[in-house]
Amino acid sequence: MKKIVKILGATGSIGKNSIDVMKNFTNRLELYAFSFGYNVREAEEILKRFSSPYIASLKKEDVLYLKKKYSFIKEVFWGDEGIKELAQIDTDITVMGISGAEAIIPTMKAFDSSKRIALANKESIVMAGPIINRLKREKGVEIIPVDSEHSAIFQSLVGERREDIKKIILTASGGPFRNLSKEKLKYVRPEDALRHPVWHMGKKVTIDSSTLANKGLEIIEAVYLFEVSLSMVDVVIHPQSIVHSLVEFNDHSIKAQLGVPDMRLPIQYALFYPERTDAVVRPLSLFNRTLEFYPPDPDRFPALSLAKEALMFGGTMTTVYNRANEEAVRLFLDKKISFIDIPKLIEKEMEMHKNEIIVAPTLSEILEVDRKVKRNIMNQI
Ligand code: MN
């Protein structure tokens, strides 16, 4: 029997890679519904291939145009509301590929309509980890992480007992400025940061990986997803991005997952787990290859320590970290602030929130804090 799939964010970086994986398994997977932002041309290519009966986009005219042209489309949805409606269509698997904090509500909705969520959106876990974990238990939904590091950890934990875990070790490429001095970091431009040496991803996550805020978010993601304490999570810089992450056990044995740096691999795993289907990516050759590992430098990349601090405060503080970072990245891309201002802005917002932390926030309280931080930053600059 075919597995029924929906993809939220089908024309983004994760979405494109998911479509590419699914093209190899059209006999096993059916793309029943998908959402996209504004890339109507690419959405049309997906429709030609998969004849999906349900689609949603941010622009009404786009989906109405597509519905008129393709008679197999049963229903279309539009706007933020439309994306939420599409998230509620029943499927075996939901691929959550929308990036940023805006994905939080569609992610929550997917718990009512899916047996499995292949989760690529880290912001929703960072903001609402405890709520997502509760939903997962209450609704009996499987979350299979698509973030390459968390997929590696998930894979290393298969067959293991959680009480045997000693440490989760996240690898980080270190980004393009890994060897740049503190002085030189001041003059980094957006175009320099967008040139990532290994991974080709969306703009936001590329900047995040150059500030190590991405790894900061991934520490928080790991703590919530695998329900371990912060002291059990370590970060190691591994420029080659071949070891995607590791788990150390109490007997000091370490398991890791290795592979070519290609997002299609964790996506394929999340779609077929526990099965290992035929390869979509090329094999990893181990010959003539050097793998390096270094400790991260918190002095040059303070976004990493700030994430740990946010997690220690807990509650709404991780939402503040996430939103302040997201806004800071936007301002940096618009050339309104410098590269080293990104962590400064996060720190400032966290400082202001210290006396207002809500320890076990509801979703609406999280969204309120999220909006407040956004407003604060917009009023300052
Ligand atoms: Mn990652």
Confidence of residue 357 (pLDDT cuts 50, 70, 90): very high
Expressed in angstroms and rounded, the spacing between residue 94 Cα and the centre of ligand 1 is 19
Q: Which residues contact 175 (CB under 8 A, 6 or more apart)?
A: 193, 196, 197, 209, 210, 211, 212
Query: What is the C-alpha separation between 248 and 238, in angstroms, rounded?
Result: 17
pLDDT > 90? residue 196: no
Domain positions in the chain are: 3-145
pTM across the whole model: 0.95
CA distances from 335 to 173, 187, 193 (A): 25, 11, 12
As a whole number, the mean pLDDT across the chain is 96
Range with the poorest average pLDDT among 161-170, 171-180, 305-314: 171-180
| pLDDT at residue 124 in the model | 96
Expressed in angstroms and rounded, the spacing between residue 360 Cα and the centre of ligand 1 is 26
Range with the poorest average pLDDT among 158-172, 202-216, 222-236, 364-378: 202-216
The residue written with tokens 């990036």 in the block is 99
Query: What is the C-alpha separation between 54 and 91, in angstroms, rounded?
Result: 12
Q: Which residues contact 85 (CB under 8 A, 6 or more apart)?
A: 56, 77
The residue written with tokens 């996430």 in the block is 322
Q: Which residues contact 210 (CB under 8 A, 6 or more apart)?
A: 175, 176, 177, 188, 193, 196, 339
Expressed in angstroms and rounded, the spacing between residue 379 Cα and the centre of ligand 1 is 31
Confidence of residue 193 (pLDDT cuts 50, 70, 90): confident
Q: Which long-range contacts (CB under 8 A, 24 or more apart) does 71-79 make?
A: 73/47, 77/35
Expressed in angstroms and rounded, the spacing between residue 245 Cα and the centre of ligand 1 is 10
pLDDT > 90? residue 254: yes
Expressed in angstroms and rounded, the spacing between residue 80 Cα and the centre of ligand 1 is 26
Expressed in angstroms and rounded, the spacing between residue 238 Cα and the centre of ligand 1 is 13
Q: Which residues contact 109 (CB under 8 A, 6 or more apart)?
A: 84, 87, 88
Expressed in angstroms and rounded, the spacing between residue 115 Cα and the centre of ligand 1 is 24
pLDDT > 90? residue 256: yes
Confidence of residue 211 (pLDDT cuts 50, 70, 90): very high
Query: What is the C-alpha separation between 207 and 131, in angstroms, rounded?
Result: 28
Omega before residue 274 within 30° of 0, cis: yes
Expressed in angstroms and rounded, the spacing between residue 145 Cα and the centre of ligand 1 is 10
Residue-wise pLDDT for 97-110, tens only, equals 998 888 999 999 99
| In CATH, 3-145 is 1.10.357.10 | no
Query: What is the C-alpha separation between 43 and 11, in angstroms, rounded?
Result: 7
Confidence of residue 7 (pLDDT cuts 50, 70, 90): very high
CB atoms within 10 A of CB 121: 25
User: Residue range 137-159: average pLDDT?
Assistant: 98
User: Residue range 233-252: average pLDDT?
Assistant: 97
Expressed in angstroms and rounded, the spacing between residue 108 Cα and the centre of ligand 1 is 21
Beta strand 165-172 with 142-145 is: unpaired
Helix axes 148-157, 264-272, angle to 10 degrees: 40
